C-alpha cells in the first residue's frame, strides 16, 4: 500500500528579547509503502518503508526526500509481532497521551522516538486481558545508531506495558541508552527516561495525562484533552504542561486548538500557545493544512 502526507503551517511567534517571527513550516512531506504477506493461517510477514522530507538547516545540506523514517521488516502471528530495522519505539507509540495538538505543545516530552538497528517485540492483548507488553533493543556494535556508545552489542533498550479496561488505558515504560542522546528541555541530553500515561476515551471526550522522569534532571507533566463534535467533523482541544527540573522551576505552557475536517483525508487547524521558561516568555499562533493519502 502506498501512503503519504503533505502539510504546511504558517507560524507566528513572539518571545521576549527576540521579538516577532513568521515562518512557513513544513509540517509533513512524506511518502511510504507498507504491506504484509500471509505465510500461514496465523502468520504473516510485514514491511514498512517511508521517506520524509526535512528542510535543510544549512545551505550545503541535501534537500528533498532526505530522511528515512521507517525501514523495517517483521513477522506477526499468535506469538505477537517481531520487527527488525528502523522504526518507532514502544515509548513513542504509547507514552505521549497528552500530545493532542498538530503543531504545538508537549515540548517537554523526552525520549528516544525512532532508531535504526532496532529489534522490537510486542504482544498485544494477552489472553484477552487487555494487557500489552513491549520491548526493544538497538543492536549497534558499530555505534552508528547510538553515537558515542561504548558497548559492543546492545546500546539502547526499553521495556513497557499498557493495560486497557473500558474507557481507560494505562501505560508505564522505561528507556535506557549507553550515551547521552535523549534531548531534554534545558538544551542538555540524558541517558534514561521513565514514566507513565493515563488516557480516558468516552463518547466525544478524550483526556490524556503523561508523567516522565528525566534522569539527573527532574520531571515533566502534561495534560491534554479533546472534545469531538459532529461525527468528528471538527474538534476542540487544549492542554497544559510543566517541567520541574532541579535548576529550572518556572517552565510551563498552556495551549488551545481547533481542527476542521474538509474530508476524512484533508483537514486544517488553528492553534495557539502561551509559554514561560524562567525569565523568558512568549506565544505562538499556528494555522495549518494537511492531506493524507
Give tens-digit pLDDT for 225-262. 999 987 778 999 999 999 999 877 789 999 999 999 99
| Domain regions of the chain by residue span | 80-292
- Integer Cα distance of 152 and 146 in angstroms: 11
Global confidence as pTM = 0.90
- Integer Cα distance of 235 and 80 in angstroms: 34
Mean pLDDT of the chain: 93
| pLDDT band at residue 56 using 50, 70 and 90 as cut-offs | low
Measure the CA angle with vertex 280, ends 279 and 283; round to 5°.
145
Task: Supply the pLDDT for residue 279.
Answer: 82
Whether the per-residue pLDDT at 201 is higher than 90: the answer is yes
Query: Which of helix, strand or coil describes residue 53?
Result: coil
Whether the per-residue pLDDT at 61 is higher than 70: the answer is no
Segments in 73-231 forming alpha helices (H): 90-94
Segments in 29-89 forming alpha helices (H): none
CATH second-level architecture of 80-292?
Answer: Beta Barrel (2.40)
- Integer Cα distance of 110 and 156 in angstroms: 15
DSSP state of 128: G
| pLDDT band at residue 150 using 50, 70 and 90 as cut-offs | confident
Average pLDDT over residues 56-85: 86
The string of pLDDT tens digits covering residues 21-46 is 999 988 999 999 999 999 999 999 99
- Integer Cα distance of 255 and 82 in angstroms: 38
Residue 112 grid cell: 528516544
- Integer Cα distance of 227 and 203 in angstroms: 9
Radius of gyration of the CA atoms of the chain, in A: 20
Q: Which residue did the predictor score with more confidence, 161 or 147?
A: 161
Whether the per-residue pLDDT at 58 is higher than 70: the answer is no
* Burial zone of 208 (CB within 10 Å; 0-12 exposed, 13-18 middle, 19+ buried): buried
Task: Supply the pLDDT for residue 64.
Answer: 67
Task: Supply the pLDDT for residue 62.
Answer: 64
- Measured between alpha carbons, how far is residue 286 from residues 13, 59, 66, 169, 283 in Å? 8, 26, 25, 30, 10
Query: Which of helix, strand or coil describes residue 141?
Result: coil
Helix (H) or strand (E) holding 185: none
Task: Supply the pLDDT for residue 259.
Answer: 96
Whether the per-residue pLDDT at 289 is higher than 80: the answer is yes
- Integer Cα distance of 204 and 226 in angstroms: 8
Whether the per-residue pLDDT at 69 is higher than 80: the answer is yes
Whether the per-residue pLDDT at 209 is higher than 80: the answer is yes
* Contact of 189 with 181, CB cutoff 8 Å: yes
Whether the per-residue pLDDT at 59 is higher than 70: the answer is no
The string of pLDDT tens digits covering residues 172-183 is 999 999 999 999
Whether the per-residue pLDDT at 9 is higher than 80: the answer is yes
Amino acid at each position: 500500500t502506498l501512503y503519504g502526507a503533505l502539510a504546511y503551517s504558517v507560524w507566528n511567534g513572539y518571545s521576549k528579547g527576540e521579538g516577532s517571527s513568521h515562518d512557513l513550516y513544513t509540517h509533513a512531506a512524506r511518502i511510504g509503502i507498507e504491506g504484509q504477506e500471509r505465510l500461514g493461517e496465523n502468520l504473516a510477514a510485514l514491511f514498512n518503508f517511508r521517506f520524509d522530507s526535512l528542510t535543510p538547516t544549512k545551505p550545503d545540506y541535501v534537500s528533498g526526500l532526505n530522511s528515512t523514517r521507517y525501514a523495517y521488516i517483521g513477522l506477526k502471528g499468535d506469538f505477537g509481532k517481531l520487527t527488525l530495522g528502523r522504526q518507532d519505539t514502544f515509548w513513542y507509540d504509547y507514552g505521549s497521551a497528552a500530545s493532542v495538538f498538530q503543531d504545538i505543545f508537549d515540548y517537554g516530552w523526552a525520549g528516544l522516538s525512532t532508531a535504526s538497528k532496532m529489534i522490537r517485540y510486542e504482544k498485544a492483548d494477552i489472553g484477552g486481558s487487555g494487557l500489552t507488553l513491549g520491548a526493544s533493543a538497538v543492536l549497534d556494535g558499530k555505534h552508528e545508531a547510538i553515537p558515542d556508545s561504548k558497548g559492543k552489542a546492545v546500546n539502547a533498550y526499553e521495556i513497557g506495558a499498557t493495560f486497557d479496561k473500558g474507557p481507560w488505558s494505562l501505560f508505564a515504560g522505561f528507556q535506557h541508552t549507553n550515551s547521552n542522546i535523549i534531548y531534554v528541555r534545558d538544551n542538555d541530553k540524558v541517558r534514561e527516561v521513565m514514566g507513565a500515561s493515563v488516557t480516558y476515551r468516552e463518547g466525544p471526550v478524550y483526556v490524556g495525562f503523561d508523567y516522565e522522569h528525566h534522569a539527573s534532571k527532574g520531571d515533566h507533566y502534561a495534560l491534554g484533552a479533546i472534545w469531538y463534535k459532529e461525527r468528528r467533523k471538527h474538534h476542540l482541544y487544549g492542554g497544559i504542561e510543566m517541567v520541574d527540573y532541579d535548576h529550572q522551576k518556572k517552565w510551563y505552557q498552556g495551549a488551545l486548538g481547533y481542527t476542521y475536517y474538509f474530508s476524512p483525508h484533508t483537514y486544517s487547524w488553528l492553534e495557539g500557545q502561551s509559554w514561560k521558561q524562567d525569565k523568558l516568555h512568549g506565544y505562538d499562533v499556528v494555522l495549518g493544512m494537511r492531506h493524507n493519502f
